[in-house]
Structure 1
Amino acid sequence: MKVLVTGGAGFIGSNIVDRLIELNHDVAVVDNLSTGRRENLNPGAEFYNVDIVNKEDLTRVFEAFKPEICIHHAAQIDVQRSIKEPDYDADVNIVGTINVLNACRLSGARKIIYASSAAVYGEPEYLPLDENHKVEPISYYGVSKHTPEHYIKIFSQLYGLRYTILRYSNVYGIRQDPMGEGGVIAIFLNKLVKGEVPTIFGDGEQTRDFIYVKDVVEANIAALTRGDGYILNISTNTCISINDLVKKMIEASGRELKPNYGPARKGDIIHSYMDNRRAAEVLGWEPRYGLVEGLRETYEYYSGR
């Protein structure tokens, strides 16, 4: 199968590319390397250094490669940057996705798999969050990840483009950038490897649903052939406080450190975890990695750099 992965040099995208190539798919990667890394690129994939905001260049790549399926992960993922630069956030996440959709249509792609986010839900009215929960984001990032879902549905109605929308909980694992906003686990583990003290924003009692990147990869692989027309939560259906998470990470590192605490950040939700039963039913998928196992693999990755 011919699969084009946008953001395929990034954290989640590169892990998906590796798995696709392992399964003998024909893969192309589109990435402008603004946050993706050349060292993440699988040599078995065709690479195009193209920004999804550049409509003409993007369309040329699609028309040259002619993917059957597009897995769309290129995005602006920094919540705080979305608040400071909402125009940039919208350009990448909304306009960029529209460009991807147009390129799919013009090149004859039959399906798009779109990486959405738990951020679309906003403050939970109940837990666990299921796909029927109201959508009321509290950050521009949440808005810019949700808006493309509407465009995708209408593209499907107008042009027959099939889709599966995957709303991720907090993804962590190998290749996540510890220097960016991408994930608390990557940032904390990187500090622990260096012997530095991590900082928890707020009182640390906020809870999150952390899912290992390899489980997210398998959800995308399942969506290649299943889940048409569905929005699906990709999550563990469990949660842990940041305080307890940091304790587990310190235990995994074998160090004796106490975290610092800083002020809570705007746009952060206090408690969140997502129901994943629909994904289990529709995709035949469920997470296989527990938090301890995932943390151990991730710590080994950062300590082995």
Structure 2
Amino acid sequence: MKVLVTGGAGFIGSHIVDQLIANQYQVVIVDNLSTGKSEQVHPLAKFYRCDITSHELQSVFATEKPDIVIHQAAQIDVRHSMVAPLHDASVNIFGTLRLLECAVLHQVKKFIYASSAAVYGIPHTPLIEETHQTRPLSCYGISKYTPEQYIRVTSDQYGLDYTILRYANVYGERQELTGEGGVIPSFIQNMLQSLPPKVFGDGWQTRDFIHVEDVAAANVAALQYGAREVLNVSTSHALSINDLVTLLNEMLSLAIEPIYLPAREGDIRHSCLSNEKTRELLKWEPQVTLHRGLHQTIQYVRNRMSIAYG
């Protein structure tokens, strides 16, 4: 079976590619390397440097004829989405439409889509289930939710199978040390340099941190399970940012107090996703404990810093 992975040179996508190849799948990567890295392209995968909004995508599908598409490529910066909504929509909405067009034309069997907890907006329950209302607070949340509707309609119209995976806060090796979404590696990098981590708000906001290996495993499971379903990919456990800093201090044998900055516009106070439905339908559950995931991430950041700083 041949699987085409968009964003396969990126943080999450490269881990998915690793697991696919370990499971003997043929893999094709489409990535424009705007945030992905050439060194993260698996040597056993076929690689196309191509933008998902480009007409070149048609020739990739015509040549490779993938059985399944796993769509990870995206604009992921929430703040960028608010100041440049046209670019955000171009990548996340138009890019997905281009992929869906190719998938239908070239008879792809299944489309697996990386969505986000950002689609829910402000939660009304401590644990967010997939049936929770969707009312995004950011342009990013809108641009991740809108393709879900296009995927559903495309499925109804053409019979394309799909699984939509709504990710909680993903962390782990190969994540950028700074920038949107990289709170854990950025904290670690600062603390390894004896610098205080920067916390936006009072630090008592909570997140559901899930390791990238578990996210990749959910995508691989969706190759066989979860037909026409929307599923959360999460740990179902909330952790405050202050508690995260405390835990990192303990693991690094430090005692560094964070710097508190004003809360950012569009940030959700509490976010924790229920994974009960995902466990049942994908026959999947998180395997990486928070302690192990943080330990692996610390080692990764140390290695990156040693390369960068000699």
Distance in 2, matches of 1:29 and 1:180, equals: 24
Runs of 4+ off more than 6 Å: none
Q: Aligned residue for 1:284? A: 283
Aligned positions of 1:87-166 closer than 5 A: 87-166=86-165
Q: Aligned residue for 2:84? A: 85
Aligned positions of 1:1-305 closer than 5 A: 1-54=1-54, 56-305=55-304
Contact 1:71/1:114 (<8 A) preserved? yes
Q: What residue identity is the alignment partner of 2:247?
A: K
Distance in 1, matches of 2:227 and 2:194, equals: 46
Contact 1:70/1:111 (<8 A) preserved? yes
Task: Give 1:283 deviation, angstroms.
Answer: 0.5
Contact 1:252/1:299 (<8 A) preserved? no
Task: Give 1:78 deviation, angstroms.
Answer: 0.4
Task: Give 1:22 deviation, angstroms.
Answer: 1.0
Distance in 1, matches of 2:59 and 2:291, equals: 44
Q: Deviations over 1:31-60 (max 9, x none)?
A: 111111111111111111101111x11111
Task: Give 1:196 deviation, angstroms.
Answer: 2.4
Contact 1:113/1:165 (<8 A) preserved? yes
Contact 1:170/1:183 (<8 A) preserved? no
CA RMSD of aligned residues (A): 0.9
Distance in 2, matches of 1:276 and 1:108, equals: 31
What secondary structure, in the 3-state scheme, does the structure 1 residue paired with 2:265 have?
Answer: coil
Contact 1:113/1:163 (<8 A) preserved? yes
C-alpha distance 41-195 of structure 1, shift in aligned 2 (>3 A): farther
Distance in 1, matches of 2:273 and 2:217, equals: 18
What secondary structure, in the 3-state scheme, does the structure 2 residue paired with 1:304 have?
Answer: helix
Distance in 2, matches of 1:180 and 1:20, equals: 28
Task: Give 1:258 deviation, angstroms.
Answer: 1.3
What secondary structure, in the 3-state scheme, does the structure 1 residue paired with 2:16 have?
Answer: helix
What secondary structure, in the 3-state scheme, does the structure 1 residue paired with 2:146 have?
Answer: helix
What secondary structure, in the 3-state scheme, does the structure 2 residue paired with 1:155 have?
Answer: helix
What secondary structure, in the 3-state scheme, does the structure 1 residue paired with 2:166 have?
Answer: strand
- Alignment coverage as a number of residue pairs: 304
Contact 1:63/1:106 (<8 A) preserved? no
Contact 1:165/1:231 (<8 A) preserved? yes
The unaligned stretches of length 5 or more in structure 2 are 305-310
Distance in 1, matches of 2:193 and 2:50, equals: 34
State the percentage of identical aligned residues: 53
Q: Deviations over 1:275-295 (max 9, x none)?
A: 100001101111111211110
Contact 1:112/1:162 (<8 A) preserved? yes
Contact 2:32/2:50 (<8 A) preserved? yes
Q: Deviations over 1:225-261 (max 9, x none)?
A: 1101000011001101000011112222223311111
Task: Give 1:30 deviation, angstroms.
Answer: 0.5
Distance in 2, matches of 1:26 and 1:80, equals: 36
Distance in 1, matches of 2:106 and 2:239, equals: 43
Task: Give 1:191 deviation, angstroms.
Answer: 1.8
Q: What residue identity is the alignment partner of 1:162?
A: D
Distance in 1, matches of 2:62 and 2:186, equals: 38
Distance in 1, matches of 2:254 and 2:40, equals: 29
Contact 1:201/1:263 (<8 A) preserved? yes
TM-score between both structures, scaled by the size of structure 2: 0.96
What secondary structure, in the 3-state scheme, does the structure 2 residue paired with 1:112 have?
Answer: strand
Distance in 1, matches of 2:211 and 2:168, equals: 10
Task: Give 1:180 deviation, angstroms.
Answer: 2.2
